[in-house]
C-alpha cells in the first residue's frame, strides 16, 4: 500500500489542510481535503471513501468531490449515524442530492454504504474493519489490510483508553491522532484527542497487549502548536526507541516497498 497524505491538520489555511489521505490513489480515508489537494484527474480515481465520523473537518469535501465527479459512482462507507450527517450536506438545498435519482443529474452518483463495527468488508480488494474509538459521534477507526497482507490501522480522532482497540487490530503501521501538545493535556482529554504523552501511554498498552510496537505516524495536528507537538513526539520516539513520524501535507510513503514482509523500511 502506498499512502499519500493530503491533509494532516485539524484547521485549514493556505498552508494546512484538513485530514485526508489516499491509499494506492483510489481509496480515500476521510474527506477533509480531497478537492483542494487533488487534481481533477486524480479526483476521478477516487471511487471509495472511508469516513471515521461526522465532524465537519472529516467530511467537508464530500459535496465538492461529488460535484466534480458526476460521471461515475463514488461509494462512501461509514456508520449509519455518520452517513446521516453526510446526507445533511447533500440534501438538495445546500448541495444537490447526489444520492438520489431525482437530483438534476437523473441518477445517483454517490452511494452511502453503512458499515457495522467489527464486521470486515472487502472493498476493492482491501479488507476493511471499522473499530469504535473514544471520540464523539460514535467515531470509528479503520483497520485496512491489503491483498498482499500489508496492515494499517488509522485511529481517526480519538481520546485515550484504546486497550479494547489494540485487542482487535494488528497493524504494522499505525496512523493516530495527536492534536495537542502535552501542556494542553486536559483539553485533549476533554475533547477526546491525544497529546504526545497520552500517545506514549497508548503505545505502551499496545506493546503490552500485542508484544510489539508498530511504526507510528501522527496526524490531525493543531497548526499553531505544530513545533511543540513535533518536539514532544520525537521525545516519545526516543524514550520508546521506535520510529514515530509526524505526517505532513503532500507526504508520500511506501512503507512496505510493495512487500509486506519489508515493512521495517524507514518512513521518510
Ligand atoms: Zn472529531
Ligand atoms: Zn477532526
| Tens digits of residue pLDDT in 36-73 | 999 999 999 999 999 999 999 999 999 999 999 999 99
- Distance of CA 107 from the midpoint of ligand 2 (Å): 31
The predicted model gives 227-249 an average pLDDT of: 98
- Ligand closest to Cα of 19 equals 2
The pTM for the full model equals 0.96
Q: Report yes or no: 115 and 122 within 8 Å, Cβ to Cβ.
A: no
| CB 44 within 8 Å of CB 55 | no
Which ligand has the shortest distance to the CA of 53? Answer: 1
Contacts of 255 (CB under 8 A, 6+ apart): 1, 3, 150, 172, 173, 215, 263, 265, 267
The alpha-helical segments, DSSP class H, found in the chain are 40-44, 56-59, 62-68, 80-89, 163-168, 185-191, 196-210, 226-240
Average pLDDT rounded to a whole number, residues 222-242: 98
Kindly give the distance from the C-alpha atom of residue 158 to the centroid of ligand 1, in angstroms, as a whole number. 8
Task: Taking residues 175-182, report their average pLDDT.
Answer: 98
Task: Write out the residues surrounding ion ligand 1, Cβ under 5 A.
Answer: 55, 157
Distance CA 75, CA 127 (A): 15
Per-residue pLDDT for 262 more than 70? Answer: no
Domains and CATH numbers, the chain: 3-254 (3.60.15.10)
Average pLDDT over residues 92-120: 94
Give the contacts of 201 (CB within 8 A, at least 6 positions apart).
160
- pLDDT above 70: residue 207: yes
Residue 265 has pLDDT above 90, yes or no: no
Residue 264's pLDDT band, with cuts at 50, 70 and 90, is low
**What is the pLDDT of the chain when averaged over all its residues?**
95
Distance 102 CA to ligand 1 centre (A): 32
**Separation of alpha carbons 160 and 192, rounded Å:** 7
Helix ranges (H only) for 157-242 are: 163-168, 185-191, 196-210, 226-240
Residue 44's nearest CA partner among 6, 78, 7, 71 is 71
Q: For residues 166 and 194, what is the distance between their CA atoms, to the nearest angstrom?
A: 16
Q: Residue 179: nearest ligand to its CA?
A: 2
CA 252 to centroid of ligand 1, rounded, Å: 24
For residue 85, the CA-to-ligand 2 centroid distance in Å is 14
Quick one: pLDDT band at residue 268, thresholds 50, 70, 90? Answer: very low
Judged against a pLDDT cut of 80, whether residue 236 lies above it is answered with yes
* Assigned C-alpha cell, 62: 464530500
Gap from CA of 259 to ligand 2 centroid (Å): 31
Per-residue pLDDT averaged across 8-25, rounded? Answer: 98
241 grid coordinates: 526507541
What is the 225 CA–ligand 2 centroid distance (Å)? Answer: 16
Report CA(13)–ligand 1 centroid distance (Å).
Answer: 18
Q: What is residue 104's predicted lDDT score, i.e. its pLDDT?
A: 87
What is the Cα–Cα distance from 254 to 153, expressed in whole angstroms?
Answer: 15
> Ligand 2: distance of its center to the CA of 57 in Å?
5
The average pLDDT across 116-143 equals 97
Residue 258's pLDDT is what? 67
Kindly indicate the confidence band of residue 30, based on its pLDDT and cuts at 50, 70 and 90. Answer: very high
* CA 108 to ligand 1 centroid distance, Å: 28
pLDDT score, position 263:
63
Ligand closest in space to the Cα of 135:
1
Distance CA 5, CA 249 (A): 6
Q: pLDDT category, 266, cuts 50, 70, 90?
A: very low
- Those residues whose C-beta lies under 8 Å from the C-beta of residue 59, and which sit 6 or more positions away, are 30, 31, 32, 51, 82, 85, 86, 89
Question: What's the CA gap between 168 and 120, in Å, rounded?
Answer: 12
Amino acid at each position: 500500500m502506498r499512502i499519500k497524505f493530503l491533509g494532516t491538520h485539524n484547521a485549514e489555511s493556505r498552508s494546512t489542510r484538513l485530514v485526508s489521505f489516499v491509499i494506492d490513489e483510489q481509496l480515500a480515508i476521510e474527506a477533509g481535503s480531497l478537492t483542494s489537494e487533488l487534481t481533477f484527474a486524480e479526483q476521478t480515481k477516487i471511487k471509495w471513501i472511508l469516513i471515521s465520523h461526522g465532524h465537519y473537518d472529516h467530511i467537508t469535501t464530500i459535496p465538492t468531490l461529488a460535484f466534480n465527479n458526476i460521471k461515475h459512482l463514488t461509494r462512501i462507507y461509514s456508520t449509519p449515524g455518520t452517513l446521516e450527517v453526510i446526507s445533511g450536506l447533500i440534501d438538495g438545498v445546500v448541495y444537490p442530492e447526489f444520492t438520489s435519482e431525482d437530483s438534476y443529474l437523473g441518477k445517483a452518483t454517490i452511494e452511502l454504504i453503512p458499515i457495522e463495527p467489527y464486521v470486515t468488508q472487502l472493498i476493492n480488494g482491501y479488507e476493511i474493519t471499522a473499530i469504535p474509538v473514544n471520540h464523539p459521534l460514535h467515531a470509528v477507526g479503520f483497520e485496512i489490510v491489503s491483498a498482499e497482507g500489508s496492515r494499517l490501522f488509522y485511529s481517526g480522532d480519538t481520546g485515550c483508553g484504546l486497550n479494547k482497540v489494540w485487542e482487535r487490530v494488528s497493524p504494522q503501521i499505525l496512523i493516530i491522532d495527536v492534536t495537542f501538545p502535552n501542556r494542553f493535556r486536559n483539553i485533549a482529554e476533554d475533547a477526546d484527542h491525544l497529546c504526545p504523552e497520552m500517545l506514549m501511554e497508548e503505545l505502551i498498552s499496545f506493546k503490552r497487549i500485542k508484544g510489539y510496537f508498530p511504526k507510528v505516524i501522527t496526524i490531525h495536528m493543531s497548526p499553531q502548536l505544530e513545533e511543540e507537538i513535533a518536539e514532544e513526539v520525537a521525545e516519545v520516539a526516543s524514550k520508546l526507541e521506535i520510529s514515530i513520524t509526524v505526517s505532513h501535507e503532500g507526504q508520500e510513503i511506501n512503507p512496505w516497498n510493495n512487500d509486506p514482509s519489508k515493512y521495517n523500511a524507514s518512513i521518510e
